[in-house]
Amino acid sequence: RILVDFDGVYMNSQVWINGTSLGTRPYGYTSFEYDLTPYVMFGGANNVIAVRVNNNQPNSRFYSGSGIYRNVWLTKVNPVHVTTDGVYVSTPTVSTASATVAVATEVQNQGTGAASVTVTATVLGPTGATVTSADSAASNVAAGATSTVNSPTLTVSSPQLWSLTAPTRYQVRVDVKVSGAVVDTYLAPLGFRTAAFNASTGFSLNGQNMKIRGVNMHHDLGALGTAVNYRAIERQVQILQSMGVNAIRTSHNPPAPEFLDITDRLGVLVLDEAFDTWTQTKTANDYGLYFNQWAQQDIQAMVKRDRNHPSIILWSIGNEVGGSTTATATNLINWVKAMDSTRPITWASNKMGGPHLSEGDDRNVAKLLDVAGYNYAPYAGDYDADHSSNPTWKLLGTETAAALRSRGIYHTPATTLTKATSMSMADRQCSSYDNEATNFGDSAQNAYSYDASRAFVAGSFIWAGFDYIGEPTPYSSWPSKSSYYGAIDTAGFPKDVYYFYKSRWTTAPMVHVLPHWNWTAGTTVTVFVYNNCDSVELFLNNASQGSKAMTSTTLRLEWSVAWASGTLRADCKVGGSVVATDQVATAGAAARVALSADRTAISADGRDLVFVTGDVQDGSGVIVPTAANSVTFSVSGPGQLVGVDNGNPVDTDSYKATSRKAFSGKVLAIVRSTGTAGTITIGASSSGLTANSVTVTAQTVP
């Protein structure tokens, strides 16, 4: 049998083979498969697969991408084979002493006669060695039929648990045999771990209580758009981990399969979500038009594809869906549980209280869910009241904060919080002082405190991890074209709030001082210092500005400092000793572009990427925080420039150009391997500045 598998096509795809229609798929995020066998011409003839996309606009509140933006696979199997995503692996019991593994294999017989099928299920350890194996009883599968073959329960002694710090991965290999001969082999991911939500104590992994320190992430990759790239996704996850993130919500749709391979490998929890709409549309041409006909098929395809990944701890059946009903929710819950009964189910509701409470039936839906998901408590729901009146409810902040910021931009007064859905600042930017938020959101600090102070709340997913293309709140019109919500901008450069979260979510001593130090004489500057130490002493040109202590409720330290040209330094102390230092210095005129690559070597496979940061510096190597110089990139050797960015939400220059203006002193180039080994040289030049270059080795893939 000849099959074609699409990981995702956005949207309303139609597929033909040699002029014969194979079908249509409205949802742009679903993985799906067609059997080409009846229509394929063999014997050297050309075969043509045609794909048509009808991406009527508008159909999304954020940038969706378009077309075949995820991988496509051509697969050849024997007539008796495992169905698409047809191996279901679960772990009924898990402890450090022993774990059991249940394997159910869906076998399809597309042969001309019945087949006596046995399945050998083998657990492979972290190194690939066989741990244990068992054969199923023979099962007679009729021609044209599909049967589920359950393997005997497998037992693994002293399993290495999958955790955030040691994400140990196993695999299950399934060998389907007919008359003793292997006709199909399938590999499924496996991780041994327990994950539990408790109405009083929140969330625990492997019996260890912890807060979910999560972010919401849309699926675009900045300058690369939505076309899937393994390294680009991996880089995003690694940057988030460096902030202390331990969980990602795939807002608001199933992710690319590569994303889950990465979260399994790196040790990040996942809330896997389907649907930004149910039957009520949010834009004129969105999935709400197709929900009634396709919802069951699409949500079950998501769960069936993703259910073996240990990183997934929750399924979500929707985000802020209008006109929600208990009948629809019941159907979705039942459809999910039919595919996987081992994980709890939630959703993300902004109608658990507050101004939207009367718009839907969300509180009754919450009673059906395993975990009640809140978007923007207390604005749209009250944790305390619900915990008191519904003590068995398990509560989670599925979307929190919605604070606004632009990297390197500071609006004053620094300590006055402005909350608005729309703003009219002349620079069309938001403030990195954490003093601007949407009217339904809050500052990062306030939202963090609301969650952290309540042990019964499992944790939260902040809006958002990275800035994303589209939905440019609070400036909804051109030229604003990307969000301001991220702790990290579209280029992958951290904003100041990244360090706030790092100070709360990580334990290695760190300190971060803001704002920059290019001001004018007579200015009194509000200085914030994020840290996780006992105390901080601030110095201006080595003159102490005083020492301040952290307490159990202190989230940042503040000083008012009369500006003077020079260096502002923060010394972070534990037990009286300096354990971390950060400083900002007054920059002179821009003199050069300094380049740094995120890796010194990449794979020469035609897909791997290197991300090169350009810093506009003065003659002493200090980044010029207001620099907006246009930087032109060149590439020689086996590499290709595939994207440029600066994280500026109002810069509408092409992501595919060879030059980009710096924003707050920084610019990014993305270079891809061409598939040949060798040395790649990336150069950067700017009028009036000293040019620079960096080299990266493209290595042959073993």
C-beta of residue 573 within 8 angstroms of C-beta of residue 536? yes
CA gap 330, 314 in Å, rounded: 17
Task: Return the biggest CA–CA distance within the chain.
Answer: 90
CA distance 634 to 344: 50
Cα angle vertex 75, ends 229, 702, to 5°? 55
Q: Tell me the C-alpha distance between 447 and 461, whole Å.
A: 10
Contact indicator for 145, 109 with CB cutoff of 8 Å: yes
**Residue 106 falls in the annotated catalytic set:** no
Mark whether 273 is an active-site residue: no
**Radius of gyration of the CA atoms of the chain, in A:** 27
**Beta strand segments in 38-129, E:** 49-53, 72-76, 80-90, 98-109, 115-124
Give the span between the Cα atoms of 249 and 464, in whole angstroms.
Answer: 10
Phi, psi torsion values for 384, nearest 5 degrees: -65, -45
Other Cβ atoms less than 10 A from the Cβ of 457: the count is 23
Please write down the long-range contacts of 193-196, taking CB distance under 8 Å and 24 or more positions apart.
193/94, 193/161, 193/162, 193/163, 193/310, 194/94, 195/269, 195/313, 195/343
Torsions phi, psi for 449 (to 5 deg): -60, -40
**Per-residue tokens: 653:** 């220059």
Tokens 């060695």 identify what position? 129
Q: Which of 234, 258, 399, 436 is catalytic?
A: 399
Which amino acid belongs to residue 496?
D
- What is the C-alpha separation between 332 and 501, in angstroms, rounded? 34
Catalytic hit among 234, 258, 273, 320 = 320
Residue labelled with tokens 């009028």? 687
Active site residues: 320, 399
